[in-house]
Amino acid sequence: MVCEVNDTFKEISIPAVMLPQDVGATLRENMNRNLNVSVRLHSPDRPSVDVAEVFLWLMAVGTILCASYWSAWSDREALIEQEKLLKDAADDYLRTDENSYSSVVDITTKSAILFVVIASCFLVLLYKFMSYRFIEILVVIFCIGGIEGLQTCLVALLSCFRFFDHARDSYVKIPFLGAVSYLTLGVTPFCIAFAVVWAAYRRVSIAWIGQDILGIALIITVLQIVRVPNLKVGTVLLSCAFLYDIFWVFISKWLFHKSVMIVVARGDNSGEDGIPMLLKIPRMFDTWGGYSIIGFGDIILPGLLVAFSLRYDWLAKKNLRGGYFIWTIMAYGLGLLVTYLALNLMDGHGQPALLYIVPFMLGTLLTLGNKQRELENLWNKGEPERICPHEPTQ
């Protein structure tokens, strides 16, 4: 078609068709074999809300609930043990108990800022060097973390049953590892086999189940080990993560001509269906296919604040309604719900979940703390005022 200089504008419509990668490969193969290929164009309406998003919402909230209760329960058990030692006035044993509980890592303000800086550098590294080989390295790292997480969760779960008491309390010394319980030794081969099978068959249609199991176990373990000691550190961490999410989803387009976060999450130029560091569920009633996904950071970082609120409630002996935990987890769920609403309103364009989650959570905690006149304790100490029962009264 040729347009002359003086021709009036003519509306030209050229249809563009988007096909899944496997369908495109099949068409190309048939054309290379000189077969007759015909294509029927059909553009069905996408559902406003897919069931996968509902299940993913439940999965994220449920993971934080489990991890928070485990973290708070561990803290309460350690506190009970310390009180027993105080009653016996055994200072030497008290110091020993504190050293044995050093496996828990408290985040500081500096480490919170440093974490976001390192995460940004790692994200740029993924963006610049995204390839099949790089994804293979991420899969190995994910499997190592998944094995550790799955092992920790299974040992804790099986330890609740009397049948495994002997295996839990019996230890054997292993070089470089020290004393390891028989229960851990029995669980570890299964965890390794599970991760290896997932890595080998991760392109199978149902492989997302294995990825989610490993991912959830890893998230729960991280939330069990890492803690925010007070609301000040939690506010700094989530505020930095809030800016991090906005910058790498929206502002990075001006610097890199693409949204860095979205490119990395999709695994562009890698030949893989996204990176493994996320939970995903296939869209069930969407004829376009694809997955609904949520990154680990969108669960772990808010989860740290939810676990902190539950620990505070238990130390302050607050009931569910009068405490902070129920309102914090509701704020997270509402923020995540708004994220999915924005995702659908933006026609599937990737949204930074922390953009919606962080204001809901911090606003809720700060408002409730101020209303109950406990904001100073929440902000600085991270625990309620307690009077030691062993100190003599005046």
Catalytically annotated residues: 245, 298
HEC per residue, the chain:
CCCCCCCCCCCCCCCCCCCCHHHHHHHHHHHHCCCCCCCCCCCCCCCCCCHHHHHHHHHHHHHHHHHHHHHHHHHHHHHHHHHHHHHCCCHHHHHHHHHHCCCCEECCHHHHHHHHHHHHHHHHHHHHCCCHHHHHHHHHHHHHHHHHHHHHHHHHHHCCCHHHHHHHHCEEEECCCEEEEHHHHHHHHHHHHHHHHHHHCCCCCCHHHHHHHHHHHHHHHHHHHEECCCHHHHHHHHHHHHHHHHHHHHHHHHHHCCCHHHHHHHCCCCCCCCCCCEEEEECCCCCCCCEEEEECHHHHHHHHHHHHHHHHHHHHCCCCCCCCHHHHHHHHHHHHHHHHHHHHHCCCCCCCHHHHHHHHHHHHHHHHHHHCCCHHHHHHHCCCCCCCCCCCCC
